[in-house]
Amino acid sequence: MSQRTASAPPPGMADTESSAESVRRVRKVMTASAIGHFVEWFDFAVYAYAAPVIASQFFPNSDPAAALLSVFAIYAVGFVARPIGAFLLGNLGDRFGRKRVLAAVILIMGLSTMLIGLLPTYAVIGVFAPLLLIVLRMVQGLSAAGETIGSNSFVSEHSPIRTRGRNVGLVYTWSNLPPVVAALLVLFLTTALPVEAYESWGWRIPFLLGAPLAIVGLYIRSRVDESPAFTEMRETRQVESAPIRTVFREQWRNMLTCFSIAAVASLGYYSLTGYFYSFMTVTIGLPSSEALLSNSIALLITFVTVPISAAISDRIGRRRMLLIAGTFGALIAVPAYLLVSTGTLGAAIASQGLLGLALGLFFGPAGPAFVELFPARVRYTGASISYNLAFTIFGGTAPLLAIWLIGVTGSTIAPAWYVVAVTVLALIVISGMPETHTRSMRDEASIENAPAPARDRA
């Protein structure tokens, strides 16, 4: 790394202006990343809340339970493309820059979501309807693979060390708001439209919003600068030519840690956003409006909790905060499922509120930890592959496996025990992770040699 000049800027106004300009730059990056993050995950979340009507429109309706299971199987198929996207987009992000990849993923997501809203149904084109739905879900998965790690890397590489967790948390938490907006939009449509109208064409409206939202997000993302870490690597010719090979050879331990953190995050997130709505309406028998309302309240709790937890981790460390949050989540999982099974609105709000709180506490330190574990030259690749493999294995299968577990065991709380088991195993790995909250996002020496530099170079 090259030495900077020792000459200090003139005191007074110059320092103030420089500091103010730095703050404005970081805020601009955070705003662009948060809005892009919202657009990307709104498009991806809509599918889960439209699952019951998609089941009736894209599959033979002789067996509603089998049709719903098929819809969630396609929901899982959307995750199959995520590891492929992680290898492709992570590699491109480390070789050609974070900004370009983030612009591409939001455009791909928006177009594929819009096309789902335009698909003919099973009654019109038969078996080609679910086949085309599978293709578009895989395209969505390909795009989603590059979003979270790309945004987290982009923000963290622009942020000062002392507020890096908080900044990443403020952006990362926007992945929790899109399901709320999607749920409320579906609630509005199901309330405002006759049942026949919603099932005929009303369900398509949230999907058709994908294209205009993507254009807005693309415009905003195009107006920010590339991250300082990648710019410095490019200028000093330190860009990694083969990041996939390098990350598996040099960073496999950090990949295992990242995978473990993502396993807990993905299982919790997609159990809440992808499964609980159908669980409450189909299995418990809660009215659709009450299920959507309670689910939205839980995700709002998560939305508020994430940046608070992330800011705390700036002070006490990512590892300690992850261990605290993971332990809390494991302890309340079974009681929360027992509570929601009573079938009342109050129980649904309370149980999901607890799950949302646990998720937010864990997401806060997880967001920055994903990218802090890796040096800049392979950050996008290493974190993306680890993160998306976990989200495919644990997140993509969460709704399908939950339905299967209930069917096999006859117990509505069987999915909760699965959450507990995965969380406990992950906590064992997390307990041995290195502390990352004081690492520089540019200086690889701060990763390889403890302690991390005290001076903020990011």
Length of the chain: 458
Confidence of residue 205 (pLDDT cuts 50, 70, 90): very high
Specify the pLDDT at position 457.
Answer: 40
Task: Note the pLDDT of residue 312.
Answer: 97
Q: How far is it, in rounded angstroms, from Cα 432 to Cα 446?
A: 18
Where does residue 285 fall: left (phi above 0), alpha (psi -120 to 50 degrees), or beta otherwise?
left
pLDDT at residue 8 in the model:
40
- The structure's pTM equals 0.83
pLDDT in tens, 307-327: 999 999 999 999 999 999 999
- Asked if 291 contacts 277 with a C-beta cutoff of 8 angstroms, the reply is yes
Long-range contacts of 230-234 (CB under 8 A, 24+ apart): 230/97, 230/98, 230/157, 230/376, 232/442, 233/376, 233/377, 234/97
Tell whether the model's pLDDT for residue 247 goes beyond 80: yes
Q: ω before 451 within 30° of 0 (cis)? A: yes
Contacts of 118 (CB under 8 A, 6+ apart): 204, 207, 208
CATH superfamily of 26-448: MFS general substrate transporter like domains (1.20.1250.20)
d(CA 236, CA 227): 14
The mean pLDDT value for 255-273 works out to 92
Percent of the chain with pLDDT over 90: 38
Spans of all domains in the chain: 26-448
Mean pLDDT over residues 407-431, rounded?
A: 93
Q: Are 319 and 371 in contact (CB under 8 A)?
A: no
| pLDDT higher than 80, residue 424 | yes
Q: How far apart are CA 158 and CA 222, in angstroms?
A: 16
The 10s digit of each residue's pLDDT in 185-203 is 888 898 899 988 988 899 8
Give the residue-averaged pLDDT of 268-291.
82
Q: Quick check: 7 pLDDT over 70?
A: no
CA 22/CA 38 separation, integer angstroms: 24
Quote the pLDDT of residue 443: 59
Q: Which amino acid is at 144?
A: A
List the structure tokens of 150.
């790309």
261-262-263 Cα angle (round to 5): 90
User: What is the structure's pLDDT at 456?
Assistant: 40
Q: How far is CA 22 from CA 29, 159, 364, in A?
A: 11, 9, 24
Estimate to the nearest angstrom the gap between the alpha carbon of 102 and the chain centroid: 14
Question: Is residue 41 over pLDDT 90?
Answer: no
Task: Specify the pLDDT at position 92.
Answer: 93
* Spatial distance between the Cα atoms of 266 and 198, rounded to a whole number of angstroms: 30
pLDDT at residue 362, as a whole number: 97
- Rounded to an integer, what distance in angstroms lies between the CA atom of residue 12 and that of residue 348? 56
